[in-house]
Amino acid sequence: MDDQHIIELYWARSEDALQETAAKYGGLCRSVAGRILSSPEDCEECVNDTWLGLWNAIPPHRPACLAVFAGRIARNLALKKLDYLTAARRNAEAVSSLEELGECVSGRETVESEVESRRAEWAVTQFLRRLHEEKRNVFLLRYWYFFSIEDICLRTGFRQSKVKTMLGRTRRKLREYLEQEGIEL
């Protein structure tokens, strides 16, 4: 079933929407959550919460790409679950990835306005769109999907030194781009 038809089922408040979404995107959501969470039980809980999140978000939202929308909800829920868990049980790759990226887009102790947050999201999206596909994919594998350097090497065929160099340069360019856009780091 295509995404637009599934979205129409959500708008009609048909429970079939959940079954169709789980059948089509269950693997994607499990993969996203599994890269962040160590426990299969936590991962499955996160995936189930993703279906509830979709049910509550559609309507009013009408996503252009259901896969991205579902993946983003699963990722955000998994990150919240990771934050909840004790430090001893956290996924080292996810924590390591976020620390690396923190050099470019560190969090703030104070609450920023929604407008500034949207502006930063837009700037990062524009930056990623300008990257060569190879660099963008490596960046997303590391910082969106939390792949280890070794897993990225296996997936891309690159050597570790190339992946590390590529990620370091991309982080530096992202920092420079955000500074040019007037986004405080």
Give the CA count within 13 Å in the CB-facing half-sphere of 112: 15
CA distance linking residue 99 with residue 103, whole number of Å: 7
Q: pLDDT, tens digit, for every residue of 81-122?
A: 888 775 555 566 666 676 777 666 655 545 455 677 778 888
Percent residues over pLDDT 70 in the chain = 84
pLDDT at residue number 167: 96
Inform me whether the pLDDT recorded for 52 exceeds 60. yes
Do the beta carbons of residue 185 and residue 108 sit within 8 Å?
no
Of the given ranges (81-90, 133-142, 176-185), which has the lowest mean pLDDT? 81-90
pLDDT at residue number 169: 96
Banded pLDDT at 129 (limits 50, 70, 90):
very high
CA distance linking residue 46 with residue 56, whole number of Å: 15
Burial (0-12, 13-18, 19+ Cβ within 10 Å), 45: middle
C-alpha 145 chain-centroid distance: 6
3-state secondary structure of 16: helix
pLDDT at residue number 92: 62
CA distance linking residue 125 with residue 101, whole number of Å: 15
Tokens matching residue 51: 């279906």
Q: Which of 114, 174, 115 is nearest to 140 (CA)?
A: 174
pLDDT at residue number 30: 94
The H-or-E segment that residue 105 falls in is none
CA distance linking residue 166 with residue 98, whole number of Å: 16
CA distance linking residue 158 with residue 154, whole number of Å: 7
pTM: 0.68
Q: pLDDT, tens digit, for every residue of 11-28?
A: 999 999 999 999 999 999
Q: pLDDT, tens digit, for every residue of 151-165?
A: 999 999 999 999 999
Q: Kindly report the number of other CB atoms within 10 A of residue 38's CB atom.
A: 15
